[in-house]
């Protein structure tokens, strides 16, 4: 074999071997939370270059700034301890950096970490042990390729908000959130086909005696949902904002909101609902949005047994006289 060719191949192999650190030629931006510290009218920013390291610790911990942003870098995999022992960091973002895999144990000893942003990467799976037990309040995983979330992926956290928009999730599992007080869940633009029974039972652990169980924001818009189980919202007493817009619903079970007494906004836009008789009985709804469905009639008697402030019904093929006053 040609000596130069052998040398070239060995150089490539050795280069790949040497360039195997988690953070290889990566630039990290550090700043502080808005409103805390300003320099010349702006929050201070420090750019740190990491030539090669398995962890951020040695480059970050001696800095006084507590917000880390890594954007548009090349970090294929986050391994055990690669984001551990960050004693001062409050917010951590690794955005659009080609991350395909998160190993269990990536985050350890991050006592002040409040939020994570891993948007715009190539993550396919959330394994148990990556986030389990992590004491953060919010996680953004939008715009990845997530299709698998293991059974206890977000258990025993202080998590209150999770955003999984624009992924490939096809089934909802209430066990994901056991032991975590999640009040805002965003799973729009995925592949969900059903809202299963007892979908929000994870919240029962945090329900106090004689205090209603409320879920603040749930967005399941732009999925493929054909069915909402009659017990999907059982034990939930209220929603702030619930969106099932842009799905494939043809009907809702009359019992589906039986335990739900209050909804500020319920959005059912762009479905195929042909009737809603009995669905909204004995409930308080501020805004009921039924735009662009297949309703030929709206049950006006619902106003005698429920408190519904506003109903939006444009784009339905009404044929009955009961809704002529909408014209």
Among candidate residues 158, 191, 224, the one where a domain is terminated: 191
pTM here? 0.90
Among candidate residues 191, 210, 234, the one where a domain is terminated: 191
Token code pair at residue 204: 């029962």
Nearest to 227 by CA among 245, 251, 256: 251
Which 3 state secondary structure label does DSSP give 263? strand
Q: What is the pLDDT along the chain (327 residues), one digit of tens a residue?
A: 454 443 443 344 444 444 579 999 999 999 988 656 666 666 678 899 999 999 999 899 888 889 999 999 999 999 999 999 999 999 999 999 999 999 999 999 999 999 999 999 999 999 999 999 999 999 999 999 999 999 999 999 999 999 999 999 999 999 999 999 999 999 999 999 999 999 999 988 887 766 677 899 999 999 999 999 999 999 999 999 999 999 999 999 999 999 999 999 999 999 999 999 999 999 999 999 999 999 999 999 999 999 999 999 999 999 987 665 544
Q: Within this chain, do residues 198 and 164 fall inside the same structural domain, yes or no?
A: no
| pLDDT tens digits, 106-164 | 999 999 999 999 999 999 999 999 999 999 999 999 999 999 999 999 999 999 999 99
Q: Within this chain, do residues 59 and 174 fall inside the same structural domain, yes or no?
A: yes
The rounded distance, in Å, linking the Cα atoms of 95 and 71 is 5
Looking at the structure of the chain, the number of domains it has is 2
In a domain, 178, yes or no: yes
b/e map of 178-215 (b: 16 or more CB within 10 Å)? bbbebbbbbbbbbebebbeeebbbbbeeeeeeeeebbb
Q: Within this chain, do residues 184 and 208 fall inside the same structural domain, yes or no?
A: no
Task: Return the bridge partners of 22, or none.
Answer: none
Q: What's the CATH code of the domain at 225?
A: 3.80.10.10
Q: Within this chain, do residues 179 and 258 fall inside the same structural domain, yes or no?
A: no
Q: Within this chain, do residues 214 and 281 fall inside the same structural domain, yes or no?
A: yes
According to DSSP H, which parts of the chain are helical? 3-18, 57-60, 302-305
In a domain, 15, yes or no: no
In a domain, 326, yes or no: yes
Among candidate residues 139, 171, 191, the one where a domain is terminated: 191
In a domain, 7, yes or no: no
DSSP β-ladder status, 46-53 and 307-312: unpaired
Token code pair at residue 145: 């390729």
Q: Within this chain, do residues 166 and 219 fall inside the same structural domain, yes or no?
A: no
In a domain, 262, yes or no: yes
In a domain, 20, yes or no: no
Q: Within this chain, do residues 162 and 265 fall inside the same structural domain, yes or no?
A: no
Q: Within this chain, do residues 205 and 181 fall inside the same structural domain, yes or no?
A: no
Domain of 77? Answer: 26-191
């Amino acid at each position: 074999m040609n000596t130069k060719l052998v040398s070239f191949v060995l150089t490539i192999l050795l280069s790949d071997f040497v360039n195997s650190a988690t953070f290889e030629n990566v630039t990290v931006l550090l700043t502080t939370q808005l409103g805390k510290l300003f320099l010349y009218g702006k929050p201070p920013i420090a750019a740190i270059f990491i030539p090669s390291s398995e962890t951020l610790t040695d480059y970050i911990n001696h800095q006084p700034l507590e917000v880390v942003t890594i954007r548009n870098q090349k970090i294929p995999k986050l391994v055990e301890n690669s984001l551990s022992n960050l004693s001062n960091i409050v917010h951590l973002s690794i955005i659009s950096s080609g991350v395909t895999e998160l190993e269990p144990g990536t985050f350890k000893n991050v006592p002040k970490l409040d939020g994570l942003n891993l948007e715009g990467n190539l993550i396919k799976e959330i394994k148990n042990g990556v986030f389990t037990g992590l004491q953060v309040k919010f996680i953004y995983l939008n715009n990845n390729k997530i299709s698998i979330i293991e059974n206890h992926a977000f258990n025993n956290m202080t998590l209150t908000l999770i955003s999984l928009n624009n992924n490939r999730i096809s089934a909802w599992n209430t066990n994901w959130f056991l032991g975590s007080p999640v009040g805002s869940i965003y799973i729009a633009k995925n592949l969900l086909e059903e809202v299963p029974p007892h979908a929000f039972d994870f919240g029962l652990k945090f329900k106090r005696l004689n205090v209603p169980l409320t879920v603040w924001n749930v967005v399941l818009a732009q999925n493929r949902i054909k069915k909402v189980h009659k017990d999907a919202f059982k034990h939930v007493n209220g929603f702030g904002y619930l969106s099932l817009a842009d799905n494939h619903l043809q009907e809702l079970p009359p019992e589906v909101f039986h335990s739900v007494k209050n909804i500020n906004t319920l959005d059912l836009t762009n479905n195929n609902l042909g009737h809603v008789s009995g669905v909204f009985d004995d409930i308080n709804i501020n805004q009921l949005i039924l735009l662009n469905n297949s309703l030929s009639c709206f049950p006006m008697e619902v106003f005698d047994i429920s408190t519904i402030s506003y109903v939006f019904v444009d784009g339905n093929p009404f044929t009955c006289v009961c809704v002529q006053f909408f014209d």
